[in-house]
Amino acid sequence: MLAREPAPLIVRPARAEDLERITWLEDAAFEDSWPRDLLDYELTHTRTFLLVASRGDDLPLPGYVLFHHVAGEAELLRLAVDPPERRQGIGRLLVEHGLERLRQTNVRVCFLEVRMNNEPAIQLYKGLGFQRVGRRRGYYRDGTDALILSLSL
Ligand SMILES: CC(C)(COP(=O)(O)OP(=O)(O)OC[C@H]1O[C@@H](n2cnc3c(N)ncnc32)[C@H](O)[C@@H]1OP(=O)(O)O)[C@@H](O)C(=O)NCCC(=O)NCCS
């Protein structure tokens, strides 16, 4: 019998049944992870969209991204990829899909905050054209500064 090809990776809007896995990914990625209730709220918020990477409904989702937008401006609020699945282009693909969706909704600019020592994320965002526009000192609970990045769409 021929070995089955791995299913291609797609990016699609998150569904209610993805919430458990998204909460798991959130906990695996962040010390200050968002609770399930908040992620659930974001899933149905009209100004928010949550996208997931998927290889099929019977396989665990490798990552997700969450954007909020209002009055032509957006913010990338969360992005996480399952640790063993990192460095395969999944994070970049998720953000690219989100940015394209923002362009289609006439959003002009996207901002985000990132820990100033989060080199993987900073490199990913810079590779997509984000530029540093500010810094918030002691922004995170452990005292780490946040860099503010932005991208004109
Ligand atoms: C940041 C994160 C989402 C990246 O996801 P990923 O799927 O591994 O990223 P990609 O494979 O798409 O990488 C895209 C680019 O980002 C940069 N990058 C990613 N991981 C990196 C690392 N460990 N070191 C340096 N650069 C890295 C590289 O430029 C990479 O391009 P390349 O592989 O062609 O060199 C992932 O590391 C993660 O979930 N981290 C924990 C949560 C987090 O920090 N989220 C961001 C909060 S602002």
DSSP letter for 35, please. P
Element (H, E) at 53: strand 48-54
pLDDT at residue 2 in the model = 59
Q: Which domain holds residue 72?
A: 10-109
- Which pTM was predicted? 0.96
Span 91-149, pLDDT tens digits: 999 999 999 999 999 999 999 999 999 999 999 999 999 999 999 999 998 999 999 99
- Distance from chain centroid for Cα 34: 13
Distance 9 CA to ligand 1 centre (A): 17
> Quick check: 110 and 76 in contact, CB under 8 A?
yes
> Quick check: 85 and 63 in contact, CB under 8 A?
yes
Residue 81, pLDDT above cutoff 80: yes
114 within some domain: no
Active site residue 125: yes
Structure tokens at 149: 């990045």
99 within some domain: yes
Active site residue 119: no
> Ligand 1: which of 75, 85, 87, 95 to mutate, judged by most atoms within 8 Å of the beta carbon?
87
The closest alpha carbon to 9, from 131, 94, 71, 70, belongs to 94
53 within some domain: yes
149 within some domain: no
Minimal-distance CA residue to ligand 1 atom 18: 120
85 within some domain: yes
Total domains present in the chain: 1
The CATH number of the domain holding residue 27 is 3.40.630.30
For the segment 28-49, the average pLDDT, to the nearest whole number, is 93
131 within some domain: no
77 within some domain: yes
**What number of H helices and E strands is found in the chain?**
4, 7
44 within some domain: yes
